[in-house]
Structure 1
């Protein structure tokens, strides 16, 4: 414990915080903050699921990834043959492909070596590893098998293990290996000797030291970091992978369809009988980490399990709905069966299956979510209604959660919320990934939500980065979530996990490689809030930072995204009618700067043309960054590609600008986006699409902080960008006898603050502080974690006292108040 100074920093801004502990604020549920788990960034296989062998059942396929085969991660060795086979000798109907070794009697034998996930199999000297495999042989006397842990150069990492496979039917063999050396890129080798044919499947290697010591369980360090957050709930298994499969059901001719939507029944029972599936994020998922394991993990860490089931309407940028009444009925029944699996007695059909897996007592499921980020709100809600009716009729104690699409605003969001409000849905899941600026500007988002309407589940949010500056913006926003705890009942940052060697999405809360894991700056911030939430909000107010009202200023720009487009007749006219800039490209493109450095720009046929249909953000700029109050006009023609035009204005530099994104998101919608420090937020959007070969007349009128946009002479939309990005935010909660004053100071000045506390009889003179502080650009890495909590004490506390909160900091001041 450190003694904190009563005053700090020379550059200060003065604030006040007034706290009225005599009035009760909203109660805060124990489940307020939780975690969202999705198998993205290899979060399951090669991540939280502790299996060390990749493609253990030889089920990898081009359906998972164009580069995959059943032998991915396996290398044949020896002089015989090693072939992946899918025939009637398979292990079972769901585990269809296996390895057939043709032995030639050589002393070297025939076998395979597995390279593990990403960089290899990590082992530690003295640690024990559990080996299992399924085998069958056509040799009456049996077939000797040797299992080895070794380095890529053949150096032994453990004493070889000898197994004799016997009988021409599938049999499971288990044993242990103890590592004799520490290595980060090991290999597992299985070699057979003799003659004849031996078949192998489900070749597995697990560390003995898993979370809670469960065989075939979870990677300990990752599970412990999640548990340290003390989450109130675990939302699983996604996310986009829940409802974005292209096939449904089982086909006897080809086996289990690949790219199916996530179906929980595929994921329970013995692991060798679980189907694998193509993961939405471009790899294979084994389902070794399945619904039973999710429920068990939630129980282990004291969290509520919150599963998400597919609604038969795709989301995450896909726009299809399945019109098959029989399939809908089957999915609804699957959902009812899921509730029975979680809560039914051990004598029920699905409760018996849970009991057979080792958990006779019910898990106590209370919430279930239907769907994820659907872009077709009416189609989704029609199906959601059927799920809701069936669940509420059979299980009235289960809360059925709906959603509002993939964004924080817009036509889909508005329509989805209208449907949810009209139907009196209990809870609606909101998702948004926005810039830090957006989070600083929208602390009051939930202040005006209807207190008697559906409650909010903020199931996915993040500020597009893992710097401490990102975490500060999120922390400022979280004070608003807590202040509105009567509306926002659940909230979870997303995504949770990322393997540094396999990343489909950034940012992420916890990063890991084969041997190490570390929490991001966002993780440390989330952990501070999640472990100090409190029971009830205490009413409080704070003064604001003086804000300026400077007009939008900046140059202009043109860009494309995976599209070829031609631009012509660019003019910029001041509000007084004077021409500031005009270019018809008759003299070339010498007045333009290639800001992004990508794309292929050239003057062709009197227009400025970008021809590379693969390049993303090809921004070129012109003009004066000091321009304000002007009209930008340009003629734009899409020539080829996926999207439309990007017309930039208010360009300060390559990371700070506005652009009108016409025909964005694969030409599904159009929006104005604001970039601050490279992170973007949407200000206004519609479903406008751009036609190839048609010339559009585009006009942007900038007046002060108001912008009006015209397409072919008609007003397309308008906005006023006047929200204050308030850097000083606070909330106060009660935790038993303690008051927790939570202050975020997301600016470069210290915040000298007078705290006035009313409604208490006495206050202990010494308070406990927990502080996160650092440079806004600081990032936690495997080798350096500069953003970590520091605890200290603060003397001189009373009904009125002054404390200076450091620049770029989150401070929790815990007061003993009677």
Structure 2
């Protein structure tokens, strides 16, 4: 019995556009397909679980995949200040993205210069045009910029603001003609801009275009007439229409998609780019020459900001700087969360800056950053913020130090100095540490040990794994120490952009919410990817120069981020029976940027039978080149891979049905940067286990499991491999338990028995609406017919609201089609105990309105 009237039912229905609650768009609660699997879900609305942090879900921005320049930063000109350099990218020249242009037969020369005539010390390079003066009154010589992707995207009727810093040595001045055209040189505006340069000092000249046609291949041409020398720098074309019409602002469609997520925080400016960069080419104190990401380089007038090499292989302009990050966070209602360098590199690099003066400088820079964000307009750095247009503080509460360092001892020593200084001056700021680049292993364990022992407030974890890992590790945070540091899951994703990856991520997120007392912040990564500059996938939002679209994971994240709830409601669901199958598969040998010799390979069954034996005296006929990489040959009775540049050179042998066996092999590193890769349980090139000895530049050793081509770490330590030494390797496989022996001594072991559970759920409460939000993920091929029991101590509205993501597990959202989009409906027949069938391959959010009985 409940006390909801028919009017209540109709009101709930109409909220989702359903004209009759008796004829819903969704599946009836009483409907169950014959092929559905049977589940039960018990919910106790009278009990309260952990409160969910207001900052639970946010976004992580990193300038990867051209996410900033050529992406969300709305500037259309590439290499606008002529600072591209082969030092930053071997394919670059100072005129990358530019070509010389002649109008009316005019001639001249164009050269990028670095001398005393530069615009300023941090914007050192400029373009010098030496004009021959021919071509008549209509003649002009200059340069054309093609922007990013296929060209600049210009829309008919829209305004575009042009600016350039220029100077001329002609006393009578120099005419400057600025035009917009498409790839075929057809004009995109009614008339060009005509500017008159006067004086041999730097002056900013501006003008505005109105596009009379749309194009995705737009070009900007800047050409000077007459004779003499013209100098140009900071050539810019900005759409007038940016997000919230901010000057120097964000590309509107990308910013709107981010804002639609309703993120609670914005972590910036990146991960790997935080600790790395290039060097200034002039004499300067070390703290100015060490080119990690320095926030002070990114504020103030854009023409006075430095440029820097990006960790991901391209140049970044810093037009999108710390002020713009803070302002964007404020614009979308997100908590700003900057990350500063700790002077210990990460992301596969191992370098520590030992200079104590440099460390002192970076600590002070971090204190200055907090003042820039929070200080009054009368303070030194608060005044800088006010001068940029924001006199009120930004309200910074959290700051991260470092990112994915592989040297936990060195990192933590430096982190401690940052933390001590920040807490002394700003005790209200939460200082966030990190746990390295993986979800487990020796670096992760040591980092967490150091963080726990020092009572660090919060630890930033990062990991990217295959879908099976996410399905199998829903309980990851169940066992975390509730008296230890809280968790910021700063980067995570399942390694692809198919809907099945999103299903696995959604299943995992139910575990994050269930552990909301320990997991306080979480952000999928990376956020943005330009389709023509992809360096990493998966990615949340994809774009080209014209349009943008959300991946299937974007739709998943949006569903969770806009339906968080205020607290967890205790619930319990039945699970899917797990098949008890042993690890099965053939064997393999491989290398990674290393030459190695293998010999005396034997495979012995648990009962003592010899399944395979090869001392290579008869050649390599029993082995298959699985990847086709590397240079393998038999020499002096050993199987040798010679190529020290080739990665994953796997060769395989044996029967894919083998189980319960011992693999024995001897191995010798001949040359190269790493060690050995010995595989077992090989079913194909994308599915196997391997013992990776001396991996990551010979810094650590692990066992990895590959599923569908993506790998996850199961166990590891810091073993390193010596060149020229023969090693005895043995792998013992029993059922799903694996034990590994190095030179006769046990090296480690694991039991791979976690179930990739396809049916996951969590329930939260929305205090504002009085609804329970029942979140169910069904990541399997069959429907899940589920008995839902709410107990007898609440009154339940007879109609629930449903939002569902459902589709082919291989579906991918693209520019041409987005098959994975949310559908909304209502569900009648809801009561204290009812049955609902959750579709195969689906994520369902069911909002049930309840009242105390």
TM-score interval (norm. to shorter): over 0.9
Q: Say whether 1:129 aligns with 2:151.
A: no
Q: 1:658: Cα distance to partner?
A: 0.7
1:212 counterpart = 2:234: no
Cα RMSD of the aligned pairs, angstroms, is 1.6
Aligned-residue offset at 1:259: 6.8
The whole-number CA distance in structure 2 between the counterparts of 1:810 and 1:618 is 39
Please identify, of 792-801 and 373-382, the stretch whose mean Cα deviation from structure 2 is larger.
373-382
Equivalent residue for 1:814? 847
Do the aligned partners of residues 119 and 738 (structure 1) sit closer, same or farther apart at CA in structure 2, a change above 3 Å counting? Answer: same
For the 8 Å contact 1:96–1:255, the answer to whether it is kept is no
2:5 aligned residue = none
2:12 is aligned to none
Q: Which runs of 4+ in 1 moved over 6 A?
A: 253-259
The 2-side partners of 1:245 and 1:104 are apart by 40
Give 1:66's match in structure 2, choosing from 87, 90, 100: 90
456, 470, 476: which one aligns with 1:425? 456
Q: CA deviation at 1:244?
A: 2.3
Segments of 5+ residues of structure 1 without an aligned counterpart are none
SS in 1 for 2:648: coil
- Aligned equivalent of 2:698: 667
CA distance in 1, matches of 2:685, 2:362: 48
8 Å CA contact 2:278, 2:308 repeated in 1: no
1:255 Cα deviation from its structure 2 partner: 12
Tell me, yes or no, if the aligned pair for 2:629 and 2:647 is still in contact at 8 Å.
yes
Partner of 1:739: 772
Which of the numbers 652, 658, 664 marks the counterpart of 1:621?
652
Q: Separation in 2 of the partners of 1:256 and 1:398?
A: 25
Residue equivalent to 1:89 = 117
Count residues with an aligned counterpart. 817
Q: Does 1:349 align with 2:380?
A: yes
Once residues 198 and 742 of structure 2 are traced to their aligned partners in structure 1, the CA distance between those partners, rounded to angstroms, is 76
Tell me the CA shift for residue 589 of structure 1: 2.0
Indicate conservation of the 8 Å contact 1:315/1:373, yes or no: yes
Matched, 1:441 2:472: yes
For the 8 Å contact 2:792–2:832, the answer to whether it is kept is no
Asked if 1:229 is matched to 2:257, the reply is: no
Q: What whole-Å deviation, never above 9, does each CA across 1:431-486 have from its counterpart, x for those lacking one?
A: 11111111111111111111121111010111111111111111111000000101
Measured in 2, the distance between the counterparts of 1:512 and 1:258 equals 35
Q: 2:285 and 2:790 mapped to 1: Cα distance? A: 70
Cα deviation per residue 1:760-791 (whole Å; 9 max; x = unaligned)?
53111111111111111111111111111111
Compare 332-341 and 153-162 and name the one that shifted more.
153-162
What displacement does 1:118 show? Answer: 3.1
Superposed CA offset, 1:36-75 (max 9, x none): 0011111100001010100100111122111212111111
Gaps of 5+ in 2: 1-16, 18-23
Map of 1:755 onto structure 2:
788
- What is the deviation of 1:250? 8.6
Secondary structure of 2:794 counterpart: coil
User: 2:45, 2:794 within 8 Å by CA — same for their partners in 1?
Assistant: no
Give the Cα–Cα distance (whole angstroms) in 1 for the partners of residues 492 and 259 of structure 2: 20
- The 1:259/1:391 distance shift into structure 2, 3 A limit, reads closer
Out of 798, 802, 807, the residue aligned to residue 765 of structure 1 is 798
Give the aligned partner of residue 32 of structure 1.
56
Name the TM-score, length of structure 2 as normaliser.
Answer: 0.94
Whether the 8 Å contact between 2:376 and 2:383 is mirrored in structure 1 is yes
Contact residue 94 and residue 256 of structure 1 kept, 8 A: no
Aligned to 1:197: 229
Counterpart-to-counterpart distance in 1, 2:494 and 2:820: 17
Give a deviation string over 1:545-581, Cα, whole Å, max 9, x none.
Answer: 1112211111111122222222222111101111011
Q: Check whether the contact 1:259–1:277 (CA below 8 A) recurs between aligned residues.
A: no
Matched, 1:316 2:347: yes
Greater mean alpha carbon deviation, residues 148-157 or residues 531-540: 148-157
- 1:242-282 Cα offsets, whole Å, 9 max, x none, are 112465x8944799977710010000000000000111111
Correspondences of 1:488-503 after superposition (within 5 Å): 488-503=519-534
User: Which residue is equivalent to 2:126?
Assistant: 98
- After superposition, give the CA deviation of every residue in 1:508-565 in whole Å (9 maximum; x if it has no partner): 1111111111111111111110010001110111111111221111111112222222
User: After the TM superposition, which residues 325-724 of structure 1 pair with which residues of structure 2 at under 5 Å, given as runs?
Assistant: 325-724=356-755
C-alpha distance in structure 2 between counterparts of 1:8 and 1:319, whole Å: 56
Deviation of 1:759 after TM superposition, in Å, equals 6.3
- The equivalent of 2:198 in structure 1 is 166
Aligned partners of 2:140, 2:850: CA distance in 1, in Å? 75
Residue 613 of structure 1 and its aligned partner are, at CA, apart by 2.5
Which one of 759, 778, 783 corresponds to residue 811 of structure 2? 778
In the alignment, is the contact (CA less than 8 A) between 1:20 and 1:759 conserved in 2? Answer: no
The alpha carbon displacement at 1:380 in A equals 1.2
Deviation at 1:8, TM superposition (A): 4.8
Say whether residues 1:13 and 2:37 are aligned partners.
Answer: yes
Q: Is the 8 A contact 1:129 1:178 kept in 2?
A: yes
Mark the CA change 1:259 to 1:125 in structure 2 (over 3 Å): closer, same or farther. Answer: farther
Contact 2:441 2:713 in 1 (8 A): no
TM-score (norm 1): 0.98
Distance 1:315 1:218, change over 3 A: same
Shift of residue 336 of structure 1?
1.0
Q: Supply the distance in 2 between the matched residues of 1:792 and 1:713 (Cα, whole angstroms).
A: 63
- How far did 1:604 drift? 2.6
Give the corresponding residue for 2:307. Answer: 276
The secondary structure found in structure 1 opposite 2:505 is helix
SS in 1 for 2:584: coil
Asked whether the 8 Å contact 1:311–1:383 carries over to 2, the reply is yes
User: Are 1:110 and 1:191, in contact at CA under 8 Å, matched by a contact in 2?
Assistant: yes
Residue 125 of structure 1 and its aligned partner are, at CA, apart by 1.8
| 8 Å Cα contact 2:587/2:654 also seen in 1 | yes
Shift of 1:634: 1.3
- Of 102, 105, 108, the residue aligned with 1:80 is 108
Deviates more, 1:231-240 or 1:113-122: 113-122
Q: Could you tell me how far apart the structure 2 residues matched to 1:675 and 1:156 are?
A: 53
CA distance in 2 between counterparts of 1:160 and 1:449 reads 64
Contact 1:655–1:677 (CA under 8 A) maintained in structure 2: yes
